[in-house]
A and B are shown apart, each in its own frame.
Chain A
Amino acid sequence: MNPGCRAFRRSLEQLLEDARGPQEWTSLSWHEHLLGCRDCRALLEAEEALELLLASLPAPSLPPRLARRVLARLRRGEATREAALDRLLELDPAAPAPSDLARVVLAGLESERAQPAEARLDALLERARAVDVPGDLPRRVLAQLAPERTLVRRRRPILARRPVQLALAAGLLALLAAWAFWPHRAGLRPERELAQAPPGVDARMLEQLDLLEQWDLLRRNDLDSLLSTLPQADQLLFEMGSEEGAPGG
């Protein structure tokens, strides 16, 4: 953390609050600070403030709820990746922030304003939209396809015909109903037989069949295998701990 960071973050806070300040902070120094300071870049990235800042052209304001959220995080030091933001709260009141800070940021960070360039490209593409479709195209296409259609109609299988399908479905339903309510179903294995292990096979082994099928994978002790098979709750716990500066051991 250096004085540049404090000044930058004060500027950001003032921007978010729409405060006005003296005009001494140049776009270049803001830009250069960001180029050189991973932590401040991380702050902007993590909060997505930059995307919304740039998306808020031409009026340099953030949606109020996001502004409040980022401000609160700045104040409480809870940015997702920055655990020591309380240092930021030692703000340097003398650090100036230009009132048109958003435009200054944009000028520094972008070689051209994305939105108007996009609009210009869209306008260019529009000019290439028109295609001269022949008026009688459908008629010609249908004429060319006629022989194939006739051939396919002749070949159309009997089973593709709707009345045949319905008759088959009704017959199948009747069979299913008979199967469901018939007291004895010859040739089908009762559930209770399936619920026991086959002869010569330990039922406890069957209960662990999932584990046994994954045996090679479970016995791997390369680091990625160990890390990725941590229980998910532990993974999340360690990630959160890391973000919040928990001791690492």
Chain B
Amino acid sequence: MKHAHALLLVLAVLSLCVASRSQGASQSDALADARRRWEALAPDEQARMKTRWEHYKSLPEGEQRELRARAQVVLDLRQRAARRLPVPLRERVQQLPEPQRGQIHSELLELEMARIGARMRAVLPPEVVQELEQARPDERAKFFADYQVKQRVRVTRYMIERLGKRLGLAPEEIERLKKEPEAQGAARVLELRQRLTQEEGREFGLPPGLTQEKWQSLLALPPEEFFERLADHVRDRQLAGAEAGIGSGGARPAGDSAQGLPRLRALRRLQEASQADPADLVELAYESPQARREEVAERTRERCLRILSEDQLISGDELERWRSLNGPAFAGQVEKLIAPLLTRWRPPADEKR
């Protein structure tokens, strides 16, 4: 009896497939989808889109191209933000009605952008970050675009040289790769790095925590996704180490916070806690955006206070002072405290090769 349902469902799906095929494939499914979305917009929203369209058309071709590229990146970010959610949470978001679902997706996107922004700040040289922050807003995008183009060329050449040598490529091959069109540079570097990582896996064993099966499925991914998943894996393990590990046993000395590695682990827990929890966003999906923002900030703050207290990252007196700080001031203090985790070690100039 229970198979009858499955059978009926399969037959229903088959009949729908036949129906759609019998109509012939539409050449512009994307346009049809866009039209449906357009017709679902309210009149004032349609008017807004038209105004933006006029503005877009007035931009130089170069700016239009950049905007299109950025729009694609943002779409990818939306998908990445959704992928990072645990499956049950992802399903809960999908089950939300509109407009809640759209709001939550937008807020998850904002979280993802903040996360990546923080990661990239740590990667860029401090003087570049400072210059970007101090630039006039209308100049910042141009300055950043210029820097990005130059840096891509610099880093691509440098990395092809290093990775090529480590992979044992012939010098001529390395030179040929360096001369490839600049637009392909980043992709080429990622490909080489993925190859190198694969060889390291063969030679030295898998990264801890990965089975052979999982490793092979990761290697089959395109380079961007491979590195994203690997970074998530390493981060999860580091966090699990921070959660499960060092300095967690026994009575703690009163007074000054723990030093050394226990402190680093505690800072990592604090770093994790200082980021808004997507589960909180979803739980509060039916609140107004403002109320949700406030409640999520409050919960994030509570989590941080709990860790600051439990892990004795600051003294009791400081803790009391921090409790009385307003939101931005509190966040600033936390950011300062976890700064060592975000700072990348860079070799002094004379050690670069």
Contact = CB atoms under 8 A, between A and B. Distances in A.
Direct contact of A and B (CB under 8 A): yes
Interface of A: 31, 34-35, 38-39, 41-42, 44-45, 48, 50-52, 54, 63, 65-66, 68-69, 72, 76, 78, 81-84, 86-87, 109-114, 117-118, 162, 165-166, 169-170, 172-173, 176-177, 179-181, 190-192, 194-198, 201-203, 205-215, 217-218, 221-249
Contact of B208 (A48, A224, A235): A48
B274 to A, nearest CB: 15
B117 A228 contact: yes
B141 A249 contact: no
A203 B53 CA distance: 11
A111 B250 contact: yes
A191 to B, nearest CB: 4
B81 to A, nearest CB: 11
25 contacts: A35-B259, A35-B260, A39-B345, A48-B208, A50-B261, A84-B348, A173-B8, A173-B15, A191-B24, A191-B26, A194-B31, A195-B31, A198-B39, A208-B68, A209-B38, A221-B138, A224-B118, A232-B76, A232-B224, A234-B152, A237-B190, A239-B119, A245-B346, A247-B154, A249-B150
Nearest to B126: A248
Given A191-B26, A207-B30, A241-B158, A233 B133 contact: no
A114 to B, nearest CB: 5
B38 A231 contact: no
Interface of B: 1, 4-5, 8, 11-12, 15-16, 18-19, 22-24, 26-32, 34-39, 49-50, 52-53, 56, 67-71, 73-77, 109, 112-121, 123-125, 128-129, 132-133, 137-138, 140-141, 144, 147-148, 150-152, 154-156, 158-159, 162, 166, 185-187, 189-190, 193, 200, 203-206, 208, 223-224, 227-228, 237-238, 241, 245-250, 259-261, 264, 340, 344-348, 351-353
B293 to A, nearest CB: 17
Nearest to A191: B26
Given A68-B204, A112-B250, A244 B158 contact: yes
A203 B31 contact: yes
Given A72-B204, A191-B32, A242-B346, A229 B74 contact: yes
B36 A218 contact: no
Nearest to B157: A246
Given A111-B250, A112-B249, A249-B151, A215 B121 contact: no
B164 to A, nearest CB: 13
A240 B159 contact: yes
A29 to B, nearest CB: 14
Nearest to B1: A162
B77 A229 contact: yes
Contact of A224 (B26, B117, B200): B117
A22 to B, nearest CB: 25
B259 to A, nearest CB: 6
Given A223-B133, A242-B344, A194 B159 contact: no
Contact of B116 (A34, A235, A245): A235
